[in-house]
Amino acid sequence: MRRVLVVDDEENLRLVVRTFLKRDGYEVEAVSSGEEALAMVETFGPDVILTDVRMPRMGGLDLLATLKAKGNEATVIVMSAYGNVDLAIEAMKAGAYDYLQKPFKAEEVLLTLRKAEEREALRRENRVLRQEIRRENLFEEILAKSPPMQVIFKTIAKVADYKTTALITGESGVGKELVARAIHRRSSRRGGPFVAVNCGAIPENLLESELFGYKRGAFTDAVNDRAGLFEQANHGTLLLDEIGELPLALQVKLLRVLQEETLRRLGDSKDIKVDVRILAATHRDLMAETQAGRFREDLFYRINVLPIAIPPLRERREDIPILMDHFLARNNARFGINIRGFEPEARRLLLEYRWPGNVRELENTVERAMVLCEGERIGEADLPERIREARDPIQMQLTSGELSIKKTSRVIEEILIRRALQKTKGNRTKAAEVLEISHRALLYKIKDYRIDL
């Protein structure tokens, strides 16, 4: 990142900045307006654009917006006079990396540029890391290295080209649709459409028309013929997600389509031939639903030709670290931030948590932690309370069965001291105030518990 474009309508400032940047080894061009800057971007190809936020005609905000619209990836740093700080902050919200308040010293500009270089180096590192993780553990769009998932990948590769109906089961958030998409992409139907419908998300009175379509005049609002999802998925794949929510009346019609490969639109008297590969997914136990009379037995056996059961994330913990790092790298690139990783305690909590919401919950948790994180690494405090307290050491001690007050008190005391020191970043005076003990007593206890600062 050694090419810098300076954009400012003040000639003296352009001259001064250009001079000290060149002295520091940068390749520099300087222009007086946003319009000139856009032209220079095409010929000079700057890594960094240092622009005034307020200029005649095209100011820094307009320049930034135009560069973003064109997909230019140069790092933009805005300069503002004292009264324009709000505009500078607005520019940062719009995608600028940082701002400098005029008047500034050469050292301030150089320091900001070096920080930008470090950020760009980290972004490149994240891109490489993300590519390596994906290359080593990626099957289509699924990241996993655990033995159960490897078995599923082999099954997908074997059966993808057959028109066999598959039933994909697993808890919410395990990635059932990703598995369905992987089957579609590995099949000879990959050039055709992939259509997914959640049977539980559409009102029962609309579901039939959504699936099978309708003829004009079939009901009050049917002003035109409309193809249903089966026809839209013709020569491709249709995923019936949460098929366990399908009403019994529609189960009969679905069975007919599966057996005869024909359907009839609402209000029509003619059958339509369709060539669709059906995949079904559910978090329910369909065998139990069948025995309870809520799901047709004949339909169950018709869709359960190839069962694929995706294990929950807690049963394939080898996948958690690569998913964590993948979500970290992806969000760094997405948000333009520089979170380097996870503190050891945060990583331990994430690895030990049971993840009832599975991969979806992990993805959302990492994103939330990155948004809240104020340092370079995600710490325990950045994680949701439910995760921090899932293996709370004090609670574990209280429920361990230990009845000795003396032993339990020592364990809890040590935990509280460590927490206080962590919260105060090792400041023993502040930690003593938080713990409500004397500084002398804290020093004694640090030595007694052999706590390394």
Tens digit of pLDDT for each residue in 44-68? 999 999 999 888 888 888 998 898 8
Whether 222 and 93 share a structural domain:
no
Question: How many whole angstroms separate alpha carbon 251 and alpha carbon 390?
Answer: 41
Question: How many whole angstroms separate alpha carbon 348 and alpha carbon 420?
Answer: 20
Residue 449 has pLDDT above 80, yes or no: yes
Whether 367 and 342 share a structural domain:
yes
Whether 168 and 96 share a structural domain:
no
Query: What's the pLDDT score for residue 231?
Result: 93
The predicted model gives 202-214 an average pLDDT of: 87
Query: What's the pLDDT score for residue 375?
Result: 83
Give the tokens for residue 145: 């290295």
11-23 and 106-137 are packed helices; what angle lies between their axes, rounded to 10 degrees?
60
In a domain, 140, yes or no: no
Whether 182 and 270 share a structural domain:
yes
Give the tokens for residue 284: 């329910």
The predicted model gives 162-183 an average pLDDT of: 94
In a domain, 130, yes or no: no
Residue 126 has pLDDT above 90, yes or no: no
CATH code of the domain containing 444: 1.10.10
Q: Sorting pLDDT into bands at 50, 70 and 90, what band is 83?
A: low
Structural domain count of the chain: 4
Tens digit of pLDDT for each residue in 306-334? 999 999 998 998 999 999 988 998 898 88
Q: Sorting pLDDT into bands at 50, 70 and 90, what band is 101?
A: confident
In a domain, 129, yes or no: no
Q: Please state which of the ranges 92-106, 211-225, 351-365 shows the lowest mean pLDDT.
A: 211-225
Of 336, 371, 388, the residue at which a domain comes to its end is 388
In a domain, 118, yes or no: no
Residue 338 has pLDDT above 90, yes or no: no
Q: Please state which of the ranges 121-125, 190-194, 300-304 shows the lowest mean pLDDT.
A: 121-125
Q: Please state which of the ranges 90-99, 167-176, 215-224, 334-343 shows the lowest mean pLDDT.
A: 215-224
Whether 22 and 39 share a structural domain:
yes
- Residue 79, strand partner residues: 52, 100
In a domain, 142, yes or no: no
CATH code of the domain containing 365: 1.10.8.60
CATH code of the domain containing 224: 3.40.50.300
Query: What's the pLDDT score for residue 137?
Result: 64
Query: What's the pLDDT score for residue 110?
Result: 92
Query: What's the pLDDT score for residue 376?
Result: 83
**Domain boundaries, position 427:** 393-448
Residue 155 has pLDDT above 80, yes or no: yes
Whether 181 and 255 share a structural domain:
yes
Sheet arrangement for strand 27-31: 27-31, 3-7, 48-52, 75-80, 98-101
Torsion angle in degrees (nearest 10) through CA of 368, 391, 422, 129: -50
Cα dist. 177→198, 230, 306 in Å? 10, 17, 16
Query: What's the pLDDT score for residue 206?
Result: 86
Whether 268 and 167 share a structural domain:
yes
Residue 270 has pLDDT above 70, yes or no: yes
In a domain, 213, yes or no: yes
Residue 399 has pLDDT above 60, yes or no: no
Whether 322 and 340 share a structural domain:
yes
Whether 285 and 227 share a structural domain:
yes
- Under 8 Å CB-to-CB from 86, ≥6 apart: which residues? none
Whether 243 and 350 share a structural domain:
no
Of 365, 388, 411, the residue at which a domain comes to its end is 388
- Under 8 Å CB-to-CB from 13, ≥6 apart: which residues? 52, 102
Whether 299 and 325 share a structural domain:
no
Q: Sorting pLDDT into bands at 50, 70 and 90, what band is 124?
A: confident
Of 82, 104, 126, the residue at which a domain comes to its end is 104
In a domain, 74, yes or no: yes
Checking DSSP bridges between strand 166-169 and strand 306-309, what pairing results, if any? parallel
* Nearest C-alpha neighbor of 130 from the set 403, 332, 375, 425: 332
Question: How many whole angstroms separate alpha carbon 292 and alpha carbon 16?
Answer: 82
Bigger pLDDT: 375 vs 19: 19
Whether 327 and 305 share a structural domain:
no
Query: What's the pLDDT score for residue 398?
Result: 62
Question: How many whole angstroms separate alpha carbon 144 and alpha carbon 336?
Answer: 26
In a domain, 372, yes or no: yes
Query: What's the pLDDT score for residue 91?
Result: 81
CATH code of the domain containing 45: 3.40.50.2300
Query: What's the pLDDT score for residue 334?
Result: 84
- On the CB side of 402, CA atoms within 13 Å amount to 15
Q: Using the Cα atoms of residue 111, residue 113, residue 118 and residue 123 in order, give the sign of their dihedral.
A: positive
The predicted model gives 410-439 an average pLDDT of: 88
